[in-house]
A and B are shown apart, each in its own frame.
Chain A
Amino acid sequence: MNKNLLDLSILELSERLKTKSISSVELVTESYQRMEASEPIIHAAITIRDKKEALGKAKNADETRKTDSHPLHGIPYVVKDAYLTKGMRTTAASKILDNYIPPYNATVIDRLEKCGAILIGKMNMDAWGHGASTENTDYPVTKNPWDTTRSAGGSGGGPAAAVALRYVPFAIGEDTGGSIRFPASWCGITALKVTYGRVSRYGAIAYASSLDSVGPTAKTTEDCAVVLEAIAGIDPYDATSSPHPVDKYVQGIKVSIKGKRIAFPLEYYKEGLDPEIKTAIIKAREQFVSLGAIVEDVFMPLLEFGVPVYYILAPSETSSNLGRYDGVRYGGTRELFTKETRRRILTGTYALSSGYYDAYYKKAQKARSVFIQNYTEILSKYDAILSPVTTISATKFGELLDDPVTNMMMDVYNVTVNIVGVPSLALPCGFTQKGLPIGMQIIGNMYGEKTLVSLGASYQAVTDWHKKIPRGENS
């Protein structure tokens, strides 16, 4: 019997759990029913937790729940397979880690466990985060729940498809150059790329350390806010985690956006952007105005330099980070690195090699400063920037592979956010004529997540794009 409990928000679920009108056992049972029905086609997961074990956790949650338990108490969730989970296989979607059983938990996993949330699966991704389609996984490729002949986006296509199909109320992703926001937009869900350092990276398998960020993806802005409040904050195990105070993000939902100032960068809406996406975001712009926000055209002329900066910094850092996989302490040998990862390791090694370092890595770090200046200038006058997430809607399989430049251009709207370190909320704002989801993103100031929550929640209060649900069949 399917009650569709997982269509409810986290706060609604928590309320019903506390008043005992539903149980965690029912919730977790529903999660497994959904996975059993869709996984043979969708492949959102790499590893699913033993069902009995998960139900045991749920039973325990039901028995220990108090009226003041955390809202995530007894709520099932999944993570991108880039987070270490003690005793549960962690692969980063690479055969190198096919048998790797971590001896400790990532901080984000520990924090969620402390809240009482129940981890039920490790989700698919491009191996090591290298890609924007999840096609670079060494496991069966995740299908887009809206059209299974198309990609779910990447690199975190698994967590996005899992939330879109309502396997669980939320997932944790990792965003280095769009890896949470991009698949969320192609799958029609909401996602938050947090300020760099807002959430601990301890136990997250590193792609590019100066760009990596840990954040939630869920049905709504509100759900993302609930999760962020649970996972944000300084961690002694991650020296780059920020001591900046953690806001009451959930309270941001009720804050009016009247008078909030939003920048609309004209360069972002020129050639290269699918007209259907442009039309949807212009409609959203009008909705923000009708909600009382002030939206103004601005110039952000650096856009074209974003991808070059990213494709120097990220491959350089990944070539260094992946150096640890030597097949001695854990994992298989380096022959098991697949195409896209080899490409990135070699590009990075080249950019860092003697004689080229100044021309590439150092130049990119200088450009990074120029981007920070540009963003700071805009964000000192505006509360947020309204941007597309992707240039096109979900592509057919195979369209993105083996063309480095097209691959790189896929994340043109996302990478500068990581280069600068600011947060960004991606949320659904329409559908194409073919019925594929369209997303937009609202980029905020450093530690400005609460303002993004207000903007996103206000928009979602008057729209219902985020309520549309795919059912995993060929649509």
Chain B
Amino acid sequence: MKGSSISAEDIKKIANLANIPISDTQAEELTKQVDVTVSYVSKLQELPTDSVVETSQVTGLENVVREDIVDKSRILTQKEALENAPHTHNGFFVVDAVLEEHE
């Protein structure tokens, strides 16, 4: 973790990974802001943590399971599940194509 230097190219790449469409102007502004943030949090490298095990959650609970029984009160009907979808077709969600057709 070094004092960061993030470029507009980095930001465009990350924005693409995060599926956030951004313009060149926005990329420039975001580059500055993300850079400031990342530089600021880099302060953390001053904290010694060599022999420390990481904590991902604080409950201490592990392997929380339930009986493998269908809970009908929790199931949405097809109509309910589709009610908020902007595009549906014959009772299905419409999604963008992920494969391209070739002649």
Contact = CB atoms under 8 A, between A and B. Distances in A.
Contact of A343 (B34, B45, B95): B34
A404 B54 contact: no
Contact of B14 (A101, A197, A353): A353
Interface in A343-372: 343, 345-347, 349-351, 353, 359-360, 362-370, 372
Contacts of A372: 55, 58
Prevailing SS type, chain B contact patch: loop
B1 A368 contact: no
A337 B22 CA distance: 11
Contact of A367 (B15, B42, B47, B81): B47
Contact of A304 (B11, B43, B45, B59): B43
B52 A369 contact: yes
A335 interface: yes
B19 interface: yes
A311 to B, nearest CB: 5
Contacts of A337: 20
Interface string B32-43: 011011101111
What DSSP secondary structure best describes chain A's contact surface? helix
A210 B56 contact: yes
A240 B61 contact: yes
A100 B84 contact: yes
- Interface size class of chain B, counting residues whose CB lies under 8 Å from the partner chain: 35 or more
Interface in B57-81: 57-59, 61, 64, 66, 74, 76, 80-81
B54 A345 contact: no
Contact of A368 (B34, B54, B74, B94): B54
Interface residues of A, number: 62
B64 A335 contact: no
A334 interface: yes
B49 interface: yes
Given A240-B57, A305-B43, A343-B34, A366 B85 contact: no
Given A343-B30, A369-B53, A369-B54, A312 B18 contact: no
Nearest to A354: B17
Contacts of A28: none
A140 interface: no
B54 A366 contact: yes
Contact of A312 (B44, B53, B59): B44
A363 B1 CA distance: 9
Interface stretch (A1-9, A49-57, A322-330, A457-465): A322-330
B55 A369 contact: yes
A362 B49 CA distance: 10
Given A305-B47, A331-B84, A349-B17, A368 B55 contact: yes
Given A345-B18, A346-B34, 5 more contacts: A237-B74, A240-B57, A243-B61, A302-B47, A329-B81
28 contacts: A101-B84, A104-B76, A196-B58, A197-B59, A239-B61, A240-B59, A304-B43, A305-B44, A307-B40, A307-B41, A308-B41, A308-B42, A311-B40, A334-B19, A335-B21, A342-B20, A343-B30, A349-B17, A363-B49, A364-B41, A364-B44, A365-B54, A367-B44, A369-B53, A404-B36, A404-B37, A421-B59, A446-B58
Interface of A: 99-101, 103-104, 196-197, 210, 236-237, 239-240, 242-243, 302, 304-305, 307-309, 311-312, 315, 319, 323, 326-332, 334-335, 337, 342-343, 345-347, 349-351, 353, 359-360, 362-370, 372, 404-405, 408, 420-421, 446
